[in-house]
Structure 1
Amino acid sequence: MIEVFKTNIQNIKEAYFVMSQLLKRFPDYKINFDLEDCDNILRIDGTVVHPQIIVECITALGYECAELT
């Protein structure tokens, strides 16, 4: 299952930080960013992805995140 999120993550340093934090909690996820997209897209691929938990985790790190439907 792939979930897609809009973020306010601006650069690769922030993206790597967020990715590392998410992978600590969800080590089986495949995570990538598309920072060239106007929505600074975050994609997460996993067997079961709970979008609300992802939003909460990223918000706790001080960034904005919203699920794209």
Structure 2
Amino acid sequence: MIEVFTTNIPNQNKGISVLKKLKKNFPKLNISFDIERTIINYPCDHSILRAEGNTILVENFIKEVNTLGFECDILEDKVCRKQKEI
């Protein structure tokens, strides 16, 4: 199972710190962090946390990120379709 979360973790250094704590608290999960640009306007701007494992307790994961001082939400599964040209 894979869950993808949006967060307001603002930079790579904070992301590494959060990853260390999450990996300690959720040792059975493979967790990764990505950030493309500065987080100014969450949730429009966001960084990504991915968690992979047999069982992911989403509420516990989100609560832990919140406890570390950051917002965290499940990334909605959206299908984007290319619009037809008129």
TM-score by length of 2: 0.74
Q: Return the structure number with greater helix share.
A: 1
Give the share of equivalent positions with the same residue, in percent: 39
Residues matched between the structures, number: 69
Taking structure 1 as the reference length, the TM-score comes to: 0.90
Query: Could you tell me how far apart the structure 2 residues matched to 1:18 and 1:30 are?
Result: 14
Does 54-63 or 19-28 show the bigger shift? 19-28
Unaligned runs of 5+ in 2: 38-44, 77-86
Following TM superposition, where does structure 1 have runs of at least 4 consecutive aligned residues deviating by more than 2 angstroms?
A: none
RMSD: 1.3
Instruction: Give the CA deviation at 1:39.
Output: 2.4
1 or 2 for the larger relative contact order (CA 8 Å, sep ≥6)?
1
Structure 1: stretches of 5+ with no match in the other structure? none
